[in-house]
Amino acid sequence: MSTPVNIPVGGTSLITLDQAQEQARKALADDRSVIVEIAGGNYRLDTPLHFGGADSGSEATPVVWRARQGETVRLLAGAILDGFRPVEDETTLQRLPENARGKVWQLDLGNAGISDFGDPVSGGLELFFNGEPLTLARWPNAGFTRIAGLVGGHPVDVRGTKGDEDGNIYVHGTRYLRWMDEADPWVHGYWFWDWADERHRVARIDPEYGVLELEPPAHRYGYRRGQWFYAYNLLCELDEPGEWYLDRDTGILYLWPPGDMESAEIAVSVGAQAMSIDGARHIHIQDLNFEYTRADAIQIQDAEKITIEGCTFRNLGGWGVVVSGGRDVRIRHCHIHGTGNGGIRLDGGDRPTLRRADHVAEDNHIHDYGRVNRMYQPAIQISGVGQRVVHNHIHHAPHMAIQFAGNDHLIAHNDIHHVCQESNDAGAIYSGRDWTWRGTVIRHNLLWEITGFEDRGCVGVYLDDMLCGTQITGNLFYRVTRAAMIGGGRDCLIQDNLFVDCEPSIHVDARAMNWASYHVETTMRERLEQMPVTTSPWAERYPELLTIWEEEAAAPRGNVIRRNVCQSGVWDGVRDDARAYVDLRENLVADDVGLTGEAPHFRLASDSPALDSGFELCPIDQVGPRQRLR
């Protein structure tokens, strides 16, 4: 084996990232192994780093791109700004709130070489102060206001929940009068359901009646009185430290700094991505920081044996890492936070043949994600066949922690808490609406303090709309409303779980036999017919699908709930129309089941009656990220 070619970047070497890639390719063409070691510092990426087939290593000698030991390497897709000065123009000062005058600074972004601002929706320019995302000037400054009423015209009635199709809303009070002279006011709200947010430009403000007319197209579900929203992109609402506003006509950025301007790093996002890996193999990316992208930091497509390890992803407009196709891509020991969308997205494998991709997200710490797009942007999203999500720590987010689709995934040993904080009909771990998405195991996870928006309740593991063939085993649920839910599905197993202070611990319904029956002959049949369920390997792997039309297709048949333990809260949330189909046995429900340890890290005392049934408690010491070895 030849000695690796070590290519230093930055520091005293004066070699740039692009030059290092050229040298690495030459060494690889000569069958040499390569280590690119980057000295600590900030590296501005005018264009993303792209790795293709020419950058590939081998099984024995993977290509390594890494930070120098103990040094911090920042790959920045944004620009660090200087040259701010206090706002002195009298016209602008009069537009600012009185308490902000003399405290707001401005900068001409054109002088900084930045002219592409994007829209204030998603994928546009964002501002950061000492590594913290700032707030585009808004009202109210935190939380929401409520829709006072609807002008009406095209009523909507969804199973008794009433609203209107038209985006013309009454607002409380007279605050809207301050927005009359604003060039580009926007609103962001949960307009009908609390799991479907959307941003709208305000087309017109009616000062006489207090109506905001929202620019079409209207929200797909309509609008409902009492739902919540806030207004933003308003210079007149720049009224506290940490808020900013960009005049997209003049390119002038306005900022009320939350700290000392002299020593602060003030940055804006500019580039869409930091890195792409397309068709490459055997590459390790280690200990690098990715910051200030408008979209996803790293996109990986049709690649094999790629490892992203020990990296930090923060202050991004999109996802941290997106993987599409390929095999054996591993995202491990990474810290992902402050993303506009989710954290990690893994898709791969071939469903018609059930060929696995074996992508892995393990030992990551992911939190405070979904900053821009709030709903359906989980910490980890998996689809296809055979992905693993293990030993991650996920917390503090507006919506779900893990979303899965497809077959034969493993979700295990994850520590999940304080998610679904802006939604109620939501699940920390979620999937739904396909009979053929089977074989996923959700095992030995800790889910705690998941109680929904305004503590009105949500779901721990949510098998929504007839999802089938999923195992929920050996998990610990503490203070989770509706902890384990089977929403009309079949052939699911809930076993060996510990429920403490959950209300209820389990839920099973027969929705496909009543209000959701229209899905059976449409969505469910169509998706079933898309898969070769009568041939190998499907017929052997999922024989239940062969007879589903002969055995009350809409009924929640084959569900087993056994050997679970419940203390406090409510145990049984099985609906009457589903109870006859559920195998419910050997469960222990008691005021005291012999718990020891501090919440939520419970253990069972040696004399716990739960142990008499063979119950196996979640191995709490194995939950969450494992120590990284280097």
Full DSSP string of 296-307 = -SEEEES-EEEE
* C-alpha torsion angle, residues 240, 242, 248, 249 (rounded to 10): 50
Each residue's pLDDT tens digit, 377-410: 999 999 999 999 999 999 999 999 999 999 999 9
* Placement of tokens 């700004």 in the chain: 81
SS3 65: strand
Determine if the peptide bond prior to 556 is cis (ω within 30°): no
SS3 347: strand
DSSP state of 263: T
What is the rounded distance in angstroms from the CA atom of residue 40 to the CA atom of residue 307?
21
CB 294 within 8 Å of CB 119? no
CA–CA distance from 93 to each of 86, 103, 445 (Å)?
Answer: 10, 10, 53
Host H or E run for residue 21? helix 17-29
- Indicate the pairing of strand 441-443 with strand 335-339: unpaired
| Structural Rg of the chain based on CA atoms | 27
What is the rounded distance in angstroms from the CA atom of residue 204 to the CA atom of residue 197?
21
What is the rounded distance in angstroms from the CA atom of residue 404 to the CA atom of residue 458?
18
Which residues have CB under 8 Å from 36's CB, separation 6+? 7, 9, 20, 21, 24, 63, 64, 65, 66
* Placement of tokens 């099985």 in the chain: 574
Encoded amino acid at 17, one letter: L
CB 621 within 8 Å of CB 413? no
Which tokens is 563 given? 């050997």
What is the rounded distance in angstroms from the CA atom of residue 325 to the CA atom of residue 309?
19
Domain ranges of the chain: 78-137+237-267, 145-233, 411-630
| pLDDT value, residue 4 | 84
Which tokens is 409 given? 């995934």
Which tokens is 134 given? 């700032």
What is the rounded distance in angstroms from the CA atom of residue 574 to the CA atom of residue 501?
17
Q: By C-alpha distance, which of 480, 51, 561, 489 is closest to 308?
A: 51
Each residue's pLDDT tens digit, 530-571: 999 999 999 999 999 999 999 999 999 999 999 999 999 999
- The values of phi and psi at residue 524, to 5°, are -65, -45
Side-chain-facing half-sphere of 237: CA atoms under 13 Å: 24
Q: Residue 554, Cα to own-chain centre: how many angstroms?
A: 31
Which tokens is 239 given? 């009224």
DSSP state of 483: -
What is the rounded distance in angstroms from the CA atom of residue 307 to the CA atom of residue 610?
41
| pLDDT value, residue 630 | 62
Q: Which residues in the chain come in under a pLDDT of 70?
A: 1-2, 630
